[in-house]
Structure 1
Amino acid sequence: MKRNKTLSVLKYIFLAVLSAVSIFPFFWMIISATNTAAEVNAGKLTFGAHLAENLSSLFHSDLHFGASVGNSMIIALITTVLALLISSVAGYGFEIFRSKARDRVFNILLLSMMIPFCALMIPLYRMFGAAGKAGLTGIGLNTLFSVIMPSICTAFLIFFFRQNAKSFPKDILEAARIDGLNEPRIFIHMYVPVMKSSYAAAAIVTFMSSWNNYLWPLVALQDPQKRTVPLILSAMGSSYTPDYGMIMAGIVIATLPTGILFFMMQKQFVAGMIGSVK
């Protein structure tokens, strides 16, 4: 009995230490957002009185941080909505409709996951550049569409929705077909409500990936008014004399959308990742 108590105490101490190590970077980030650059460099670990000053410097700088937040939000929301719609339809189709070529096509799709994105940047750049030269200004380079388009359908999301569709009750599907429902109505009125945990998990993954995307927006968006939050934060850190207080304030703002989304939907995220059906 005494040994079990000792093991429990040691376990909680170990978990407490790991929690402190994990939380400290976020704690230091919030503290640094309230201090000046000199205080951050000095390693000050107490709250300061310069949060308003850092926020004012952040939004009134020539880096257009406010516009970048709007750009990132537009890109992340549109990408998430379109990716969920297209990938879920594809995953549903791969699982529900059977054919001889189905598995072959799906295997080819999975092989695309092995291609690094850096190998696709030049073809994508040439494709969107050609669209701009052809007069399609709305979908060429330096447009939000050029960042959204490559992310709205990924092999990972299609694979994710197909695996979760395996747990969709086939009896419900057959009963709906007998009652005369067509496939679009079955998908919208039956499949989507039942698989809402899968949609929540996919939404979190897609939104976070799009919000934090850096490499392709760096290549595609050259106009300062069109840049996203990661690009602005990178530009702040690469200056000759970086203002760490202002940078940390920007990082706190950049962390809020993904943090709020995850904490609001963490139960659905866990349920969706393990493939449960609600």
Structure 2
Amino acid sequence: MKKLTTMVVHLFLIVASVISLFPFVWMLMGMTNSSSEILKGKFSFGSMLMENIHKLLDMTSLGAAFWNSAIIAIIGTVGTLLLSSMAGYGFEIYHSKSKSRLFGLLMLSMMMPFAAVMIPLFRMFSGMGLLNTPTAVILPTITTAFMIFFFLQNTKSFPRELLQAGRVDGLSEWRLFTRIYMPTMKPTYAAAAIITFMNYWNSFLWPLIALQTQDKKTLPLVVSSLASSYNPDYGIIMVAIVITTLPSVLIFFLLQKQFVQGMLGSVK
């Protein structure tokens, strides 16, 4: 009975893996084929890869879009990790009833859909002269209720004895945070970094509104413009999607072990 259960579990995992990987395999094959071959359902590698890449570079400012996405994702991720971890650390380490009420109000913001605040955000950034800049994309999500909650929950397992020992040694509160808390919470930072980087890198709706000129567009906007053209070339689109996907995949595999530890709330 135990062997049968194990076989069923393994069979289920194999089927789930195949279903999950199929779109990526199709995408990799599609980038080497022409648009007509993709529409015919060809499921094998072709010889059109270099031609598709050259067409993509001729049709779009891919380098500029990649740079724009990288700037927004890197600066946004670093800022989000720093501010959210400071907030989560403060709410949990310096706990009080008033802070609990404030945190409750903060959590209520998660119930508000982004569509409800788009127009106020647009008017605000327009009045500040920040539209069509990376700042306009980064600031609205530089701290989120979810990410503060994530750090707060993980901080519950943080050993307070380390802070007490640091205070005995004469460390300031800022040094306690940077020299004791941050190194100890590396798995949490890794998990948060993956989530935040992917959110910034794949962000579409707000950048579509805030970035108004072609030279400021990010990769998701470039892919969208290719797909919405009158006669889309699917081979070129597949190349663009692969290029857009690679940084997120690379970040995930580099921080995979820390991501699992961080999501489980473990502290080393």
TM-score (norm 1): 0.94
Correspondence list, 1:181-260, <5 A: 181-260=171-250
Structure 2: gaps of 5 or more residues: none
Relative to structure 2, which stretch is displaced further, 265-274 or 9-18?
A: 9-18
CA distance in 1, matches of 2:178, 2:105: 28
Amino acid at match of 1:124: L
Q: Which residue of 2 aligns with 1:179?
A: 169
Structure 2 matches for 1:1-278, cutoff 5 A?
A: 3-61=1-59, 63-132=60-129, 140-278=130-268
- State the 1:186 CA deviation: 0.4
Structure-2 separation of matches of 1:28 and 1:98: 51
Q: Percent of pairs identical after alignment? A: 55
Secondary structure of the residue that 1:60 maps to in structure 2? Answer: helix
Structure 1 residue runs of 5 or longer lacking an equivalent are: 133-139
Aligned-partner residue type, residue 84 of structure 1: L
- Report the Cα offset of residue 8 of structure 1: 3.0
My pick for the range that moved more, 240-249 or 94-103, is 94-103
Q: 2-side partners of 1:261 and 1:121: how far apart?
A: 29
1:169 & 1:257 partners in 2: Cα distance? 34
What code does the residue aligned with 2:159 have? P
Structure 2: distance between partners of 1:179 and 1:261:
37
Distance 1:4 1:110 in 2: 44
Question: Number of residues paired by the alignment?
Answer: 268
CA distance in 1, matches of 2:166, 2:30: 57
**Alignment root-mean-square deviation, CA:** 1.1
